[in-house]
């Protein structure tokens, strides 16, 4: 599992619905692995949302998109993130902030996670400027309306989106 570095546990969790995972998510993973010994990308079931892709499909796209990325493991989880962090003995939750509009929600979630798991810190990372505008919602909207998402998503997601769109059009 995770290593210890300088006597400190450096396992982090990057949770999300990842519906689908985008190049922005991948960029954030690549930045986070430089900060931690091991990064777990945790694909949430998230019953509160109505995802385009099934939980299994989202997990598989994330796993395939991050295959070969050193120090990264992709898992599925259902339930409270604070409980997952305690179970895995992770000390850090990584979250991405694209704009000020993300901050309020992420801040509330970080405070709630801290209330439930005092030993777990939340670290916010900003995406690289080339991906600051990008979200899974935008990717889905562009794809469903015939736009080109080739540069916005990793190849496994592009294949899955093309299949989903063809099936949606009855082909």
Distance CA 72, CA 38 (A): 6
* Residue 30 domain-assigned (yes or no): yes
* Residue 4 domain-assigned (yes or no): no
pLDDT for the residue 7: 42
Active-site position among 45, 98, 114, 164:
98
CATH number reported for the structural domain that contains residue 153 in this entry: 3.40.50.620
* Model-wide pTM > 0.85: yes
pLDDT for the residue 47: 64
* Residue 5 domain-assigned (yes or no): no
Residue 136 annotated as catalytic: yes
* Residue 150 domain-assigned (yes or no): yes
With cut-offs at 50, 70 and 90, classify the pLDDT of residue 169.
low
* Residue 88 domain-assigned (yes or no): yes
* Residue 3 domain-assigned (yes or no): no
For residue 38, give the DSSP letter: E
Q: State yes or no: pLDDT of 110 exceeds 70.
A: yes
Distance CA 24, CA 104 (A): 20
Active-site position among 25, 38, 95, 140:
25
* Residue 21 domain-assigned (yes or no): yes
Six token digits for residue 171: 């082909």
Q: State yes or no: pLDDT of 1 exceeds 60.
A: no
* Residue 113 domain-assigned (yes or no): yes
For residue 7, give the DSSP letter: T
pLDDT for the residue 5: 46
For residue 28, give the DSSP letter: H
Distance CA 118, CA 116 (A): 6
Residue 38 annotated as catalytic: no
Judged by average pLDDT, the poorest of 71-80, 125-134, 151-160 is: 125-134
Active-site position among 3, 4, 49, 89:
49
pLDDT (tens digit per residue) in 143-155: 999 999 999 999 9
Q: Count up the domains in the chain and report the number.
A: 1
Supply the mean pLDDT for the chain. 90
Range of the domain at 78: 10-168
């Amino acid at each position: 599992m995770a290593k210890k570095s300088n006597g400190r546990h450096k396992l982090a969790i990057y949770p999300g619905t990842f519906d689908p995972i985008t190049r922005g998510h991948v960029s954030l993973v690549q930045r986070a692995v430089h900060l931690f010994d091991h990064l777990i990308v945790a694909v949430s079931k998230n019953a509160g949302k109505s995802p385009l892709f099934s939980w299994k499909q989202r997990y598989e796209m994330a796993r395939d998109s991050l295959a070969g990325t050193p120090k990264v493991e992709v898992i599925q989880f259902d339930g409270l993130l604070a409980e997952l962090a305690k179970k895995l003995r992770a000390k850090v939750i990584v979250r991405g902030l694209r704009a000020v509009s993300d901050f309020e929600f992420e801040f509330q979630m970080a405070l709630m996670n801290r209330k439930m798991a005092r030993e777990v810190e939340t670290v916010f990372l900003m995406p690289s400027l080339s991906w600051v505008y990008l979200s899974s919602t935008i990717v889905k909207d562009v794809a469903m309306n015939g736009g080109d998402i080739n540069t916005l998503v990793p190849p496994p997601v592009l294949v899955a989106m093309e299949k989903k769109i063809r099936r949606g059009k009855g082909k």
